[in-house]
Amino acid sequence: MFKALVLNQNEGKTTAAVEQLAISDLPEEDVLIKVDYSSLNYKDGLAVTGKGKIIRNFPMVPGIDLVGTVEESADARYTKGDKVVLTGWGVGENYWGGYSQYARLKADWLVPLPKGMDPIRTMQIGTAGLTAMLCVMALEEGGVTPERGPVVVSGAAGGVGSVAVAILSGLGYTVAAITGRAETEGYLRALGASEILSRDEMAQPPRPLEKQKWAGAIDTVGDTILARMIAETDYSGVVAACGLAASFKLPSTVMPFILRNVRLQGVDSVSCPYERRTNAWQRLLTQLPENALGEIAQIIALDEVPDYAEKITNGQIQGRVVIDLN
Ligand code: NDP
């Protein structure tokens, strides 16, 4: 028997409780994994609290990330004892996920733990950190370099935002951080932000074109903040959009695109192809400053997840939360 957080639905309301399960309760898939750690992402918060329509089939074990050790594998790519990482692919949404001491998953979804990366660090990074790296790669692919000028990051004290600030600053970019929590200024400066911008000011609806300020931008929140970032981006700059913590709306105009050659690049981590995914993990190993993760992450127990899920959906979590399943 082992412990898992199980979501059920009762009269339209989602309930979350730690339950004892048997291995035979797990869905049939190729690889049985003993889970060491999972993490808490915004999407997990929506799933566990039921505030977002993330889960359609109950009972469900949530948790979109996990790192663990292979116990049994019907797939030749993995053998007992291998360390593996899982993020995305609908795990923790449509398939039982990482808030469990054991999981059974498809081999195709797994990535071998990058050599030299320890399991806790992997979950300190998690889907949020992977997404932050994919956003940085999107800027680079659009030609944004540190010499081109500053990069602005929204939702900066959250998971994706914090890791994005740390990576960019480690790569030599000048970083401006947008936050709604003035008290996180010291934290954001420690991660490498050199300018702190107020969420309220950045959320003012922009004119079609504003004064050019940014070579690039990473947005985790959507709505008028994303619209303002686009309107303030330099000629031929790139905006990478990955989130909707404020809203899924984008009240923008075509002007920055047709007059300033601005590129808006969407970023998805869930179905990111294997090669790009492993490349991003490899870069996270070497390019995310070691001391940054100490600042960014905290570790909690499985039974604390419902409380932290509520907090992340209220924008009250700073950085990343790791869940210890040992
Ligand atoms: P977090 O909750 O950790 O961070 C979100 C941050 O957004 C908050 O910390 C807060 O930052 C800011 N924020 C919250 N509410 C609002 C609001 N109403 N208006 C403006 N800013 C707000 O979440 P994650 O970092 O895990 O995820 C961030 C976003 O990215 C989510 O929308 C998530 O769904 C998305 N995402 C997308 C992925 C993809 O593959 N495309 C993968 C991972 C995440 P502050 O306090 O600094 O203002």
231 contact partners, CB below 8 Å, separation of at least 6: 206, 207, 208, 209, 210, 252, 253, 255, 256
Q: Under CATH, domain 127-266 is a member of which superfamily?
A: NAD(P)-binding Rossmann-like Domain (3.40.50.720)
Q: Which atom of ligand 1 is nearest to the CA of 43?
A: 34
CA distance 270 to 147: 31
pLDDT of 294 reads: 84
Using a 6 Å cutoff on CB, does residue 246 contact ligand 1? yes
Residue where the block lists tokens 């957080």: 5
> Which pLDDT tens digit goes with each residue over 306-315?
999 999 999 9
> Which pLDDT tens digit goes with each residue over 19-62?
999 999 999 999 999 999 999 999 999 999 999 989 999 999 99
Using a 6 Å cutoff on CB, does residue 126 contact ligand 1? no
Using a 6 Å cutoff on CB, does residue 87 contact ligand 1? no
Residue 185 has pLDDT above 90, yes or no: yes
Using a 6 Å cutoff on CB, does residue 124 contact ligand 1? no
Residue 248 has pLDDT above 90, yes or no: yes
Cite the residue boundaries of each domain of the chain with CATH code 3.90.180.10: 2-113+296-324
Using a 6 Å cutoff on CB, does residue 197 contact ligand 1? no
Measured in angstroms, how far is the CA atom of residue 242 from the centroid of ligand 1? 9
> Residues 283, 286, 292, CA angle at the centre, nearest 5°?
105
> Which pLDDT tens digit goes with each residue over 186-233?
999 999 999 999 999 999 999 999 999 999 999 999 999 999 999 999
> Which pLDDT tens digit goes with each residue over 279-294?
999 999 999 988 888 8
Supply the residue whose CA is at minimum distance from atom 19 of ligand 1. 246
pLDDT of 289 reads: 86
Ligand 1: residue of 38, 39, 40, 42 to mutate (most ligand atoms within 8 A of CB) is: 42
What's the one-letter identity of residue 283? Answer: R
pTM (two decimals): 0.96
How many helical (H) and strand (E) elements, i.e. helices and strands, does the chain have? Answer: 10, 15
Ligand 1: residue of 64, 65, 160 to mutate (most ligand atoms within 8 A of CB) is: 160
CATH number of 2-113+296-324: 3.90.180.10
Using a 6 Å cutoff on CB, does residue 268 contact ligand 1? yes
Contacts of 257-263 with C-beta under 8 Å, sequence gap 24+, read 259/209, 260/209, 260/212, 260/233, 260/234, 260/235, 260/236, 261/235, 261/236, 262/230, 262/233, 262/235, 262/236, 262/237, 262/238, 263/142, 263/236, 263/237, 263/238, 263/239
Using a 6 Å cutoff on CB, does residue 160 contact ligand 1? yes
pLDDT of 298 reads: 95
Ligand 1: residue of 38, 41, 124 to mutate (most ligand atoms within 8 A of CB) is: 41
Cite the residue boundaries of each domain of the chain with CATH code 3.40.50.720: 127-266
Closest CA to 235 of 219, 206, 211: 211
Supply the residue whose CA is at minimum distance from atom 9 of ligand 1. 158
pLDDT of 282 reads: 93
> Which pLDDT tens digit goes with each residue over 90-112?
999 999 999 999 999 999 999 99
Closest CA to 68 of 23, 106, 113, 28: 113
pLDDT of 61 reads: 98
